[in-house]
């Protein structure tokens, strides 16, 4: 049985014990729901076996690390050091029909231990998606040509978040640590063919520094601009990390890790490791679940470099560019017994203070309900979020009125938005970062 949250931190469990805990069982049941009960049982066996074996190897290879929870030490260590948090979200702004989809990116910089007026800085960028891209060549960004307008929004958000992070590092006080919400290096292949609109001049002006604003053609496309910004961020010298709290179906970290383990003396050999990788794939065991089974609270693994832009998916148009993308180094961090581990990503090589970053994440999580998410990112998330009222069910007379207007207006975009407003839940309003491995 789980202990109360307060003393779980000190207790080490075996993989088997962890897998018997109700919250992780529930996760497994969810995953294996549409499998037969025989394969459900097998699923548990496989998970238990794999997790046990992997933990065994990691421990013996010195790849699992434990962080001691000690608030006093932690905060004393970063006292006087500015720390930034950056997060963005999609927003449907104010009234329908007047303003289309926008991206909002917020940043929060705080200096622990500073009691002065300048302890905290908040910044907010709000940018209309349509204005970022050059749509002169086509009739409109929401035409059939782009069957998935959400791609434009994602691309816009990746760039704006990264750009906000770069700008954050140029401000005073310059942060020593910078945390982003979402993947550090997103997969780009889906936004990189010749049909994908280039940035408008305005978009370029917003995203790039003056000496980089003369871009034309492919240079002005997302895949090039985003790369430039990632490189700038990686070069900055700050301790940059990103945090993802959501479960995803990705198995990229565990399969990469298994293959990497072959280089260590603990490896039983490539054949066996490949067999383990196959098991993971057969049973579709996601990273978050596997590492939940492997890691105790306060533990993390040595970061692993993963490639989200595999050659097979790269469009020809930008094949060479995508090859230049940095590989993020990814770790999982156990933050609490009851919640899935957080994924934390760094550039490769990881910055000098990456271990401090991980400890900060763990301590920041302890300031939050269920320890599920670090406090600073939570603050900037709330700050950048679509205001509360938009996510509440809207007054029905007004909504009906809106829908009627939208239909009269005939603009499918507005109709779509109006519908979303009528039935929308909070999450529909915010297209949260979602890892597409």
Partner 1 sequence: MTANNTWTPIGTVVGNATTSEFSFILKSFKSRVGDLVAVQMEVPDEARQGKQSIYVWGRVVTINRFNPFFPYEAAQELSNEGLSLQDTILSNSRDQLEAGVLILGCTAADGNFKNLYPLTYPVQPAAEVLYPPAKAIKELLAGGIPGHTPMRIGTLIARQDVDISISVDRVVARHMAILAMTGGGKTVAARRILRELIDLGYPLLILDPHGDYLGLWQKRELFQGSTVRLLYPHIAMTEQNRHIVEILINKMTEGLTEPQREVLSECLSEVDPEEGESVLRYIKRLRDTIARKASRVSDRRKLPTLSVCRRQLGVVENRLERMELTNERMRQRLRHLKFEQMPDPQGCPEAIISPRTISILYLGGYDHLTQTTIASILLEAIYEHRANLSNRIPPFLAVIEEAHTFIPSSREGASDVPSLETIRKLITEGRKFGTGLVLISQRPSRVDETILSQCNSFLILRLVNPRDQNFVKQIMENLSEQDARMLPGFGPGQGIISGQAVRFPLLARIRMDEDLIYTDLGDENFLKQAQDWKPDPHAPVRKRVAGKIQQLSRLPDRRPKGRGTAPKHENGDSTPPEGRDQSEQSRWDKVRKVFAMDTRAIGDLEAVTGLDWDQSRRREKVASYAKLPWKKLKAQGLSSHKRSRLLQLLEAAAAFSAHNQ
User: What are 59's strand-pairing partners?
Assistant: none
Nearest to partner 1 of 56, 99 (CB atom) = 99
Q: What is the CA radius of gyration of the chain?
A: 23
Q: Least Å distance between CB 9 and partner 1?
A: 12
d(CA 41, CA 240): 41
Q: Least Å distance between CB 117 and partner 1?
A: 8
d(CA 367, CA 362): 9
Q: Least Å distance between CB 360 and partner 1?
A: 8
Q: Least Å distance between CB 168 and partner 1?
A: 14
d(CA 310, CA 287): 18
Nearest to partner 1 of 47, 78 (CB atom) = 78
d(CA 372, CA 338): 8
Omega cis (within 30) before 349: yes
d(CA 433, CA 272): 35
Nearest to partner 1 of 103, 141 (CB atom) = 103
Q: Least Å distance between CB 108 and partner 1?
A: 7
Nearest to partner 1 of 112, 437 (CB atom) = 112
Sequence-ordered strand ranges (E) for 207-297: 239-244
- C-alpha distance from residue 317 to each of 81, 141, 302 (Å): 43, 20, 35
Helix, strand, coil: what percent of the chain each, to 5? Answer: 50, 15, 40
Q: Least Å distance between CB 6 and partner 1?
A: 8
Q: Least Å distance between CB 242 and partner 1?
A: 16
- Report the interface residues with partner 1, using CB under 8 A: 71-72, 75-76, 79, 83, 85, 94-95, 108, 110, 112-115, 119-120, 122, 360, 364, 366-370, 375-376, 378-379, 382-383, 387-390, 392, 394-395, 397-398
Q: Least Å distance between CB 13 and partner 1?
A: 23
Nearest to partner 1 of 313, 392 (CB atom) = 392
- C-alpha distance from residue 290 to each of 22, 51, 404 (Å): 15, 6, 49
d(CA 318, CA 9): 47
CB 207 within 8 A of CB 201: no
DSSP H/E element including 315: none
Nearest to partner 1 of 316, 388 (CB atom) = 388
Nearest to partner 1 of 51, 364 (CB atom) = 364
> For the chain, what is the total number of helices (H) and then of strands (E)?
19, 10
Nearest to partner 1 of 83, 169 (CB atom) = 83
């Amino acid at each position: 049985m789980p202990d109360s949250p307060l003393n779980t931190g000190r207790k080490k469990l075996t993989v088997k014990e962890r897998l018997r805990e109700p919250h992780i069982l529930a996760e497994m049941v969810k995953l294996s729901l549409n499998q037969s009960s025989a394969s459900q049982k097998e699923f548990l066996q496989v998970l238990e076996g794999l997790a046990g074996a992997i933990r065994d190897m990691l421990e013996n290879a010195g790849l699992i690390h434990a962080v001691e929870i000690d608030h006093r030490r932690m905060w004393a260590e970063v006292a006087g050091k500015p720390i930034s948090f950056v997060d963005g979200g999609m927003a449907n702004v104010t009234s329908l029909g007047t303003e289309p989809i926008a991206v909002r990116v917020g940043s929060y910089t705080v200096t622990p231990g500073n009691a002065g007026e300048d302890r905290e800085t908040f910044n907010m960028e709000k940018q209309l998606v349509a204005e970022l891209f050059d749509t002169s060549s086509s009739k409109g960004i929401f035409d059939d040509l782009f069957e998935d307008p959400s791609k434009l929004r994602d691309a816009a958000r990746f760039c704006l978040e990264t750009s906000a992070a770069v700008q954050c590092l140029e401000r005073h006080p310059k942060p020593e640590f910078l945390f982003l919400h979402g993947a550090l290096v997103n997969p780009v292949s889906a936004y990189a063919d010749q049909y994908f609109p280039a940035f408008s001049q305005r978009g370029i002006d917003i995203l790039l520094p003056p000496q980089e604003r003369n871009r034309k053609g492919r240079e002005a496309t997302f895949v090039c601009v985003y790369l430039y910004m990632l490189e700038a961020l990686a070069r900055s010298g700050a301790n940059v990390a990103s945090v993802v709290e959501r479960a995803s179906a990705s198995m990229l970290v565990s399969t990469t890790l298994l293959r990497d383990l072959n280089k260590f003396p603990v490896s039983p050999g490539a054949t066996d490791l490949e067999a383990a990788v196959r098991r993971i794939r057969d049973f579709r065991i996601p990273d978050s679940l596997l590492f939940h089974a492997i890691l105790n609270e306060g533990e993390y693994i040595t970061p692993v470099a993963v490639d989200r832009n595999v050659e097979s998916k790269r469009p020809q148009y930008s094949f060479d560019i995508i090859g230049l993308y940095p590989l993020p180094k990814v770790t999982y961090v156990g933050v609490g017994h009851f919640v899935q581990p957080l994924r934390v990503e760094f550039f490769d090589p990881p910055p000098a203070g990456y271990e401090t970053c991980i400890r900060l994440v763990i301590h920041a999580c302890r300031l939050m309900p269920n320890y599920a998410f670090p406090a600073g990112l939570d603050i900037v998330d709330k700050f950048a979020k679509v205001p509360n009222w938009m996510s509440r069910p809207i007054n029905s007379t007004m909504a009906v009125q809106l829908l009627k207007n939208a239909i009269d207006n005939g603009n499918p975009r507005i109709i779509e938005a109006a519908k979303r407003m009528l039935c929308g839940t909070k999450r529909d309003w915010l297209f949260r970062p979602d890892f597409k491995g």
